[in-house]
Amino acid sequence: PTGVGPTSKDLEEALYTIDRKNNEIRQLKDEIKQLQVDLEAQEQANDQLEKDFNDLQNDFDRYKASREAVRLAEKPDQTKAANPDATLAKQLGQLRDLLAEAEAVNDRQKRQIQDMTSEARAQSTPSSRRNLQGARVAAPTRSKHQYEGVYSV
């Protein structure tokens, strides 16, 4: 019976080690699940920011078009100078109203994007950033040329 004591002790140590490793595995699985949830939330936030950016770009394009229309309407036209039309002043006023409206929409959406970006940054805690960096999750990358020319006026 002298060999039974050390064998039982070795078995207890092995069971304790297995239990400890199982707990570590369970914790790692929980962390992976949380990282996946965080990643999905960040992807949704990124998708929303991209949608908002595209909406702003469309508004900006309309703004540029209306601005160009106002510029052309204010440019003296030789045929209209010879024959002034009362509707020209009305059209000019409408174009100016459109321009002011486009500028207001542009400003409002710019503030919304800034607010959403600040909120996304605030929700991204240092520990979750550290966890996301260590997760080695392949995220889609964007080429720097994808948005090239977006801001040209």
Report d(CA 55, CA 67) in Å as an integer: 18
The residues near 80 (Cβ < 8 Å, ≥ 6 apart) are 88
Give the pLDDT band of residue 152 (cuts 50, 70, 90).
very low
pLDDT at 150 over 80: no
- From start to end of the chain, where are the E strands? none
Determine which of 54-58, 70-74, 75-79, 103-107 has the lowest per-residue pLDDT on average: 75-79
* Structure confidence at residue 18 (pLDDT): 98
pLDDT in tens, 102-138: 898 888 888 888 888 888 887 875 555 555 555 444 4
* Structure confidence at residue 73 (pLDDT): 82
Percent over 90 (pLDDT), the chain: 37
Helix axes 4-74, 86-123, angle to 10 degrees: 170
* Structure confidence at residue 139 (pLDDT): 47
pTM here?
0.39
